[in-house]
Chain A
Amino acid sequence: MKLHWRIWLLIIVLIICALLIAPPQLLFQKGVVIQSVEKNSTEYNQSLRSGMIITSINSMNINNVQDYNSAVSKIFTGTNESIKITITADKTNFIFFGNNQLNILVKDISKTRIKTGLDLSGGARALVKAANKTLSESEVNDLIAITNERSNGYGIKDITINSVRDLSGNNYMLIEVAGATTSDLQDLILSQGKFEGKIGNTTLFVGGKDISHVERSGQLAGIEGCSETSTAVVCSFRFPISLTEEAAQRHAAVTGNLSIDPQNPQYLSQKLDLYLDDNLMDSLLISKDLKGQVATQISIQGSGSGKDRAEAIKNAQKEMNKLQTILITGSLPYKLEIVKLDTISPTLGREFTKNLIILAVVVFVLISLVLLIRYRRIKITSAVILTMFSEAFITLGIAAAISWNLDAPSIAGIIAGMGTGVNDQIVIIDESISNMESSLKERIKNAFFIILGAFFTIIAAMLPLFWAGAGMLKGFALTTILSVSVGILITRPAFSEIIKKIMKE
């Protein structure tokens, strides 16, 4: 059968979209994908990273999360012995020893590339701006870079940070995290992270500015030892930092004026006080050998506690990471304010997603019935249904291609788009079946005048939503515009050819 190029175009676009939504490599991909790896764990040091796909553990094939869980429980039987583990991820073997569990989180590989928004998949979201200050675009980008860096140190996983701009030119930072709680987010955002080293009232160095290097791991950085009290275990850590020349000179000048502590003659009379966000965190004794010295390397100490040794080590490790991050990134020159903070339960989101799919099917069936009753012709009705389906499908394909997170307003846009799409097809059908005085071509041209008019009014109406309200309703505008554009460029021309064919018969 000879088909018009417009119909071919539709077929090709549909195939491309099918590949975009569910790429074959995803459909047949076996294994589990790593969601996150505990920082500084053995697994992390072995370069296992989030996003890698695990296909086997100790020669046991892993096809899904169940396989993974049963493999892990087979390997670790609770004996706390050191066991050799071989993980195959991304076709590479990672070999290490472990004794009670794996410090990684995994999930099943998604079979499609369609992503749902926070309101449907659950998670936490914060919209942040500077208090009493309008951020410029570059300031927001700096803020995002710093926050990204910090989120690693704070142990928050699966985070996406974007800048959003609204109609009045305000710039915001939008942070979305799957799985984290709002208190994690608040911690991350609201601690300004001003780190200062002071002797008396003189500031020796400030995090970010006066520090040229922070030793994050290696022999000199890490947990030093733990001490037990009756109720808790406290573990201390230390890591060296390098000061800039300028800060080291300041150190020399200040310590030069200090005397030796008569009670404790190994040390100087004043301590080096470390402040985090103006809270005294630790006071370090200064060795008498450092008096008046241009010291460029300083050792920072701190501690973490927990109810048992494992927990204390974990917390100390976490504290150390936080501190290191703050020392590297420095503090923000302004206070932040959370203007919107949401946590969405994944449970309800799943229910919503299910209902939205059912709703789309119901709408589909109802519209088909109405058209079948009106036209009483299976061929015409099927053509409309096919077109309606194609529009929604291509819109989803584009959403997958640009990694758009489909939230509830986005899906409302797709369904509303289906409604307008049908309207246009009704106009085409009507022009084709009525009014036989002019040629079919002429009549379809008439129909396209109306369709184009309706198209441009929808675009005009939706455009301002891209910016209004910090882009929170962008999804609605985007999917509506996408689906009407897909309609006008791809599906409607093909539909008119199909109708021409049906009419000729």
Chain B
Amino acid sequence: MEQHTQTTETKKSEKWFDKNYKFLMLVPIMVTLLCVVYLGFFYSQNHGFILKDVSLSGGTTVTINGDIDVQKLESALSQEYQGNIVFRKLTDMRSGKVLAVVVETSVEADKIKADIEKVLGFQLTSENSSIEFTGSNLSNNFYNQLVIALLISFVLMSLVIFFLFKTFIPSIAVIFAAFSDIVMPLALIDFLGIRVSAAGIAAFLMLIGYSVDTDILLTTRAVKKREGTLNKRIFGAFKVGILMTLTALFAVLPAFFIVTGLPDSFRQIFLILAFGLVADIINTWLTNVGIIKWYCMKKGIT
């Protein structure tokens, strides 16, 4: 009896899926388009696709160990630096302890160091603080190269996908999903006003590699294997793929909720990966799935 209800349930959802998959497919495409428009707008406002942090725009990051009075620093320095300064606390969530205070500005290391010392009333030494300076020429160079690296990455990934499937439509579907996996987190990061570091861009590269495995799984199962019905194969792939993305999320999320006292570069990598993985769920299981189903029906692969 139970078995019977289950089959009717499955049949019902299968029918619903057969009827609506083309519509569902459009949702992430619309979202991607919206993100692209937003990024265009963002570009016209900020002359770049991201807000760069000092590792990409040049300047100094001072990390002062321990729980420093940020308010005091902020009120003393904000006026002089006129928005050209950012303060941030690095907190370990488990103990609630402030590990360090991070100050970012585009000025040279010596100046900001002296200014902070004046406010705090003690010397910044290599024991109690870290100071990182990047010249603006180098950081511009970094940025340009990382963007080129991102493009090369994308092209290489596309070649691998074409080589793997050797058919146009399924390959394009995967590549489009990878594209959306980058565009969506990028738009979100910009929307949230997060300043992206060099490590952050590396995370986007990683995303290219990280997010396509579920798409490969889906396409392989749907197009290459001929056991069971198409819908069954897709549903099977879905069950596995979701578990894959879930475990990947479990690998990157603890850095935000459980162990937070980590280097900024490290946490940004994981934040972008997390955004990308969530984007990948809808891109793979709405868009890519739709395109593949459509393709298989046309080609008579059932």
Contacts and interface: CB of A to CB of B under 8 A. Distances in A.
25 contacts: A167-B145, A338-B135, A339-B138, A342-B132, A348-B100, A366-B254, A370-B243, A411-B266, A412-B270, A416-B206, A416-B210, A416-B252, A420-B209, A422-B244, A426-B243, A426-B247, A430-B236, A434-B236, A449-B224, A453-B160, A454-B209, A460-B153, A461-B153, A461-B208, A469-B149
Contact of A453 (B99, B208, B220): B220
Contact of A351 (B141, B146, B243, B261): B261
A201 interface: no
B212 A408 contact: no
A464 B65 CA distance: 34
B44 interface: no
Contact of B109 (A341, A362, A367, A430): A341
B227 A435 contact: yes
Contact of A345 (B65, B92, B212, B250): B65
Nearest to A419: B251
Contacts of A409: 199, 202, 265-266, 269
B74 interface: no
Contacts of A342: 130-133
B262 A124 contact: no
B32 interface: no
A462 B114 CA distance: 40
Nearest to B210: A420
B213 interface: yes
A473 B259 contact: no
A8 to B, nearest CB: 28
Interface string B134-159: 11011001101110111011001101
Interface of A: 119, 122, 124, 127, 166-168, 170, 181-182, 337-348, 351-352, 355-356, 358-359, 362-363, 366-367, 370-371, 374, 408-409, 411-412, 415-416, 418-420, 422-424, 426-427, 430, 434-435, 437-438, 446, 449-450, 453-454, 456-465, 467-470, 472-473, 476-477, 480
A419 B262 CA distance: 19
B128 interface: yes
Given A168-B145, A339-B135, A476-B206, A358 B213 contact: no
Given A167-B149, A423-B244, A456-B160, 12 more contacts: A119-B265, A167-B148, A181-B126, A182-B131, A343-B132, A348-B130, A409-B266, A416-B206, A416-B252, A437-B227, A467-B149, A476-B206
A485 to B, nearest CB: 13
A127 B156 contact: no
Given A416-B252, A426-B243, A457-B208, A166 B127 contact: no
> Chain A contact residues: over half helix, strand or loop, or mixed?
helix
Contacts of A460: 153, 156-157, 159-160, 208-209
B227 A363 contact: no
Contact of B145 (A166, A351, A411, A419): A166
Given A454-B212, A473-B198, A416 B126 contact: no
Contacts of A374: 243
Nearest to B211: A457
Interface residues of B, number: 74
A427 B131 contact: no
A356 B259 CA distance: 8
Q: Rank and list the top 5 A-B pairs by shortest CB-CB distance, nearest first.
A: A461-B209, A458-B209, A460-B156, A419-B251, A464-B149
Contacts of A356: 262, 266
Given A167-B145, A409-B199, A419 B153 contact: no
> Chain B contact residues: over half helix, strand or loop, or mixed?
helix
B210 A371 contact: no
Contacts of A119: 263, 265
Contacts of A450: 213, 216-217, 220
B222 interface: no
Interface in B89-126: 92, 99-100, 109, 126
B164 interface: yes
B180 interface: no
Contact of A458 (B138, B210, B266): B210
Contacts of B208: 457, 460-461
A461 B205 contact: yes
A367 B250 contact: yes
Contacts of B135: 337-340
A214 B208 CA distance: 58
B262 A470 contact: no
A340 B134 contact: yes
Given A345-B128, A437-B227, A457-B160, A168 B141 contact: yes
Interface string B210-246: 1011001100100011011000000010011001101
B206 A355 contact: no
A336 to B, nearest CB: 12
Contact of B247 (A423, A459, A473): A423
A353 to B, nearest CB: 10
Contact of B134 (A339, A366, A430, A434): A339
A483 to B, nearest CB: 12
Nearest to A355: B261
Contacts of A470: 138, 141-142
B266 A408 contact: yes
B248 interface: yes
Given A415-B251, A461-B156, A468 B228 contact: no
Contacts of A408: 262-263, 265-266
A341 B225 CA distance: 55
A419 B164 CA distance: 23
B155 to A, nearest CB: 9
A337 B255 CA distance: 37
With most chain A CB atoms within 10 A of its CB, the pick from B130, B133, B227 is B130
A354 B247 CA distance: 23
With most chain A CB atoms within 10 A of its CB, the pick from B132, B137, B213, B252 is B213
Contacts of A467: 145, 149
B146 A468 contact: yes
B149 A468 contact: yes
B286 interface: no
A454 B247 contact: no
